[in-house]
């Protein structure tokens, strides 16, 4: 290459870098207006720093997210989480990436019978907490963490805490950065979380607030169809909760559900669980088999390097005609259930707070009608049924 061409290219590069720098100086003051909040520091290797030098992090993040979508369609799930990590570092305000990544961790890593690998739940929670830290002024990330606890973990009190935070924040139009009213389902889901956790008075107050907010929403957006339906839904739910409150307040601890549960080894990594319980059809007895002394990990910051030596299996056993029965085969799932510990605990639980509405008419909001012995366990104000069976490693292998 001639000296003239080299000089020309060097000059062109200088002009381009000057242009990028000038544009960045112009754009940086505008970022605060269109971004939901302050960015949390994330520790990554130096190989990612180069993407920041020319001020195009968000563009690179968007392109990588398109590639990640291809991984979803290809079923290449192991490649997705590292991509989520990179994209959320490049653009920590792309909230759908946090949402999708957390959903992927919670639901897509499954065993041969479609049970989720529960060891990834702490990573999912940590990813959503990071999303909250980076986007604190909008409802979205709070709602997603609430929904994870509500729908997957079934911790209704914890879900209510996050839904409450979501319910005091607005939405943001991603195209313009302008604030807008959050969706009506946020307040509705908060009321359901209060109800399912047994906090009936809070549920009543929230349905009353939902009616008021929905009426205001219908007036403000009169041209939008369906807004009056949401008002009617809130009114119907309030009436239902008030009726249930009156009915269940009359219950006393005299109901014997005749709960019993059993475990039987059939073959290595194959066993049957069954039992009886006098509750309405559609209830589920939750089975957990885990290392003795198992405690869910807490990730202070997002990472996905889970403890591969832990074993935890959770399954919901459907009750029909007072019985439940299931054969569980984990022979093909040694990576998810490594069975490294010497002892395990199989725990069978019926929690009235996690039963259909018609069951709560029999059992009470918080199990107030239950009188079973010896499996009656008190958890704060709640009364649940729980049986534990201690197993040795040889019982499972």
pLDDT at 28 over 60: no
22, 62: one domain: no
Here the CATH number for the domain that contains residue 381 is 2.60.40
Phi-psi region of 325 (alpha: psi -120 to 50; beta: other; left: phi over 0): beta
- Classify residue 255: in a domain, yes or no: no
Burial class (CB in 10 A: 0-12, 13-18, 19+), 28: exposed
Are 286 and 190 found together in one domain? no
Given this model, what pLDDT does residue 170 score? 93
Confidence (pTM): 0.83
CATH of the domain at 191: 1.25.40
Confidence of residue 86 (pLDDT cuts 50, 70, 90): confident
Check whether residue 105 and residue 163 sit in a common domain.
no
Residue ending a domain, choose from 94, 110, 136: 136
Looking at residue 195, its pLDDT comes to 94
Contact 228, 208 (CB under 8 A): no
Best mean pLDDT range from 8-12, 168-172, 315-319: 315-319
- Residue labelled with tokens 């929230």: 206
Q: What digits encode the pLDDT tens for the residues 37-46? A: 444 444 444 4
pLDDT single digits (tens) 179-209: 888 999 999 999 999 999 999 999 999 999 9
Span 16-35, mean pLDDT? 46
Structure tokens at 66: 């398109």
Same domain as 145, residue 77: no
pLDDT in tens, 337-380: 999 999 999 999 999 999 998 999 999 989 999 998 889 999 88
pLDDT score, position 241: 96
Residues 130 and 208 in one domain: no
How far, in Å, CA of 49 to CA of 44, rounded? 8
Q: Is the pLDDT at 36 greater than 60, yes or no?
A: no
The least confident of 60-74, 186-200, 301-315, 334-348 is 60-74
The Cα 359–Cα 278 span in angstroms is: 10
Banded pLDDT at 102 (limits 50, 70, 90): very high
- pLDDT tens for residues 314-332? 999 999 999 999 999 999 9
């Amino acid at each position: 290459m001639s000296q003239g061409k080299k000089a020309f290219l060097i000059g062109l590069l200088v002009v381009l870098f000057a242009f990028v720098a000038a544009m960045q100086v112009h754009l940086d003051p505008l970022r605060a207006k269109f971004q939901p909040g302050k960015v949390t520091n994330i520790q990554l290797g130096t190989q990612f720093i180069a993407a920041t030098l020319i001020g195009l992090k968000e563009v690179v993040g968007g392109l990588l997210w398109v590639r990640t979508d291809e991984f979803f369609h290809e079923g290449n799930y192991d490649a997705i989480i590292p991509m989520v990590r990179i994209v959320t570092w490049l653009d920590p305000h792309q909230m759908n990436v946090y949402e999708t990544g957390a959903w992927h961790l919670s639901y897509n890593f499954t065993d041969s019978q479609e049970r989720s690998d529960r060891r990834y739940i702490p990573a999912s929670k940590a990813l959503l907490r990071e999303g909250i830290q980076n986007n604190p002024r909008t409802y979205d990330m709070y709602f997603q963490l609430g929904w994870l606890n509500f729908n997957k973990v079934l911790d209704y009190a914890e879900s209510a805490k996050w839904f409450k935070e979501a319910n005091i924040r607005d939405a943001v139009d991603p195209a313009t950065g302008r604030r807008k009213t959050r969706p009506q389902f946020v307040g509705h889901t908060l009321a359901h979380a209060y109800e399912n956790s047994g906090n009936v008075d809070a549920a009543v107050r929230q349905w009353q607030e939902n009616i008021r907010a929905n009426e205001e929403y219908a007036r403000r957006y009169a041209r939008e169809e369906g807004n009056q339906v949401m008002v009617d839904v809130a009114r119907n739910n309030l009436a239902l909760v008030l009726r249930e409150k009156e009915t269940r307040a009359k219950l006393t601890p005299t109901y014997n559900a005749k709960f019993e549960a059993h475990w039987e080894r059939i073959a290595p990594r194959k066993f049957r669980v069954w039992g009886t319980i006098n509750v309405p059809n559609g209830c589920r007895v939750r089975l957990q088999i885990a290392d003795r002394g198992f405690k869910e990990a807490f990730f202070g910051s997002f990472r996905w390097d889970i403890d591969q030596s832990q074993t935890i299996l959770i399954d919901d056993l459907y009750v029909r005609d007072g019985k439940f029965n299931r054969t569980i085969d984990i022979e093909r799932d040694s990576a998810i259930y490594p069975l490294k510990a010497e002892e395990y605990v199989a725990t069978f639980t019926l929690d009235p707070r996690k039963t259909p509405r018609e069951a709560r008419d029999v059992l009470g909001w918080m199990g107030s009608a239950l009188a079973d012995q010896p499996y009656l366990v008190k958890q704060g104000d709640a009364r649940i049924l729980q049986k534990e069976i201690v197993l040795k490693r040889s019982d499972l292998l």
